[in-house]
Structure 1
Amino acid sequence: MPDILTHVLVGYCLATLLSLRDDRITPPYVTVAMLGTLLPDLTKIELLVPSMVVEQAIGLPFSWFAIHTPFGSLLAASVGALLVAPHHRRQVLALLLLGAFSHHALDAMLLNVTGSSYPLLWPLSTYHIPSPGLYLSSDRWPALLTGSLAAVMWTVKRAQNE
């Protein structure tokens, strides 16, 4: 769970930082960026609906893995942007992508046995980029660090509004 919290807090920090410079990024848009950080983890739907079940239903090879790539995030964010009013779509798409790509950036730094990340360039390439291996997804310190940064950002934003 510290992994999900870290992703959401990073989304909050990034969107709040942008809101300090751009008045159009209001609190609901900050929330959109926070939701965007969760888009790549939609792949966890496999826990409820295994790939094999979908594969049998449609009769074609299928994997939920594609959602946890930048291309899959672009698709998911595009669908998410279509769910809002037309005059909000561009900003919602941009903030969903900001959150999703911050998720990919953080996941690319995870420590794993192979020393490399997942194929970030899929479907263009299956190359696994080397990972700096900074932390495990179960580590608590990234959540504590981003929580502290989020508290600072909240204080700065509140002082700006007063």
Structure 2
Amino acid sequence: MPDVLTHVLVGYVIGMLLSLRYERLRSAHVTLAMVGALSPDFAKIDLFVPDGLVAALLGVPFSWSPLHTLVGSVLVVGLCSLLLAPEYRTQAIALFAIGALSHHVLDVLLMTPTGEAYAVFWPLTEYRLPAGGLFLSSDRWPAAVAGLCAALVWTIARYRDDPTGTGASKIE
């Protein structure tokens, strides 16, 4: 579970940093980056709807695993963008893709027994990047670091919106 929390927190940090930089981005946009950061783990739907069940229903071989690749992320981003009005799609696709990319970057940094990361670029190539060997997905410290970063960014954003720190709204 620390792995999922870390991805969400990193998505939050990235989304908040972008919203601090670009005035047009609001809290809903931060949420898009957070959901994007979780999107490669949509492959874990296998826990509820097993590959074998879908293969039996469709009558063809099936696996959820390709959703956890860059090509799978592009597919999910494209499909999710269809849920939005056309005028919001470009910005939503960018934020969703940034979140998904952050997920893949963190996963490539994982420590693996083989020293190789998963096949991020599959089906384009079977090449496996060298694993970063920085942490295990079960480690709690990445979630703690991401949580501290999220708290720092949240504090900066709050102070930026209300420099007095009193909670009073700006009167213009």
TM score, norm. by length of structure 1 = 0.97
1:62 maps onto 2:62 in alignment: yes
Correspondence for 1:96: 96
Q: 1:32-51 CA distances to partner (integer Å, 9 max, x unpaired)? A: 11011111011111111111
Task: Flag structure 1 segments of 5+ consecutive residues without an equivalent.
Answer: none
- Letter of the structure 2 residue corresponding to residue 42 of structure 1: F
1:87 maps onto 2:96 in alignment: no
In the aligned structure 2, how far is the partner of 1:14 from the partner of 1:38? 13
Task: After TM superposition, list the pairs within 5 Å mapping 1:144-159 onto structure 2.
Answer: 144-159=144-159
Q: 3-state DSSP class of the match of 1:74?
A: helix
Q: 3-state DSSP class of the match of 1:115?
A: coil
In the aligned structure 2, how far is the partner of 1:128 from the partner of 1:21? 34
In the aligned structure 2, how far is the partner of 1:115 from the partner of 1:84? 40
In the aligned structure 1, how far is the partner of 2:50 from the partner of 2:102? 27
Task: After TM superposition, list the pairs within 5 Å mapping 1:25-64 onto structure 2.
Answer: 25-64=25-64
- Letter of the structure 2 residue corresponding to residue 158 of structure 1: R
How much is the aligned-residue C-alpha RMSD, in angstroms?
Answer: 0.9
In the aligned structure 2, how far is the partner of 1:94 from the partner of 1:120? 19
Q: 1:98-157 CA distances to partner (integer Å, 9 max, x unpaired)? A: 111100000001011111110011111011111021000110100110100111101111
In the aligned structure 2, how far is the partner of 1:95 from the partner of 1:36? 7
In the aligned structure 2, how far is the partner of 1:117 from the partner of 1:30? 28
Correspondence for 1:75: 75
Greater gyration radius: 2
In the aligned structure 2, how far is the partner of 1:82 from the partner of 1:137? 32
In the aligned structure 1, how far is the partner of 2:84 from the partner of 2:23? 20
Q: 3-state DSSP class of the match of 1:38?
A: helix
Q: 3-state DSSP class of the match of 1:63?
A: coil
Q: 1:23-70 CA distances to partner (integer Å, 9 max, x unpaired)? A: 111111001110111110111111111111211222222111110001
The range that moved more, 113-122 or 45-54, is 45-54
TM score, norm. by length of structure 2 = 0.91
Q: How many residues align?
A: 162
Report percent identity of matched pairs. 50
Q: 3-state DSSP class of the match of 1:37?
A: helix
